[in-house]
Homo-oligomer: A and B are copies of this chain.
């Protein structure tokens, strides 16, 4: 079983699942896309769902791996949050289709796949929460419900899959700067002498 062909099939699946959705994509569609008979696909995959699973797994694993690396870096916490945002947004922008499949279609996974993806997704949220927590502990971030804050930031960043245009005018870097600025300092001007860290 040539790994090339499998990769080709997976790429076709990513494209189609993104365009039409998992349920609306038939195995026939995928076969057509790679120029095989429907039945021939099954030399490479064991089921349509397995394909979805592989895609989702690869996607969320990538996010986790990258964030873990960032967490291990020795930079201040503003910087770390910025890098996390930037990396996430860069990955989403560079892998719009795959990310869309992860965020929109993984819901169609049955057990035991659903749970596996859910756990990896939970882990990803944990990592973001840790970034906030460590920023608070270091006195760089304001105290508060760190998980909730992580959800706000992660939600905003994930939402990109719904509106980002690969050929649009905004680069991932530009978006990252604006987003990180909001998360760190907000959209409003601050009242002078306002929220200064206690010393």
Contact = CB atoms under 8 A, between A and B. Distances in A.
A141 B187 contact: yes
Given A145-B178, A185-B190, A189-B196, 7 more contacts: A23-B24, A23-B108, A77-B188, A148-B175, A151-B156, A152-B182, A155-B156
A194 interface: yes
Contact of A135 (B21, B159, B178, B187): B187
A151 B159 contact: yes
Of A78, A142, A158, A193, most B-chain CB atoms within 10 Å:
A142
A154 B67 CA distance: 24
A179 interface: yes
A107 B21 contact: yes
A108 B104 CA distance: 11
Interface size class of A (residues with CB under 8 A): 35 or more
A175 B194 CA distance: 22
Contact of A189 (B108, B158, B197): B197
A152 B140 contact: no
Of A77, A104, A182, most B-chain CB atoms within 10 Å:
A182
Interface in A143-199: 144-145, 148-149, 151-160, 162-163, 170, 174-175, 178-179, 181-190, 192-197
Of A104, A148, A174, most B-chain CB atoms within 10 Å:
A148
A81 interface: yes
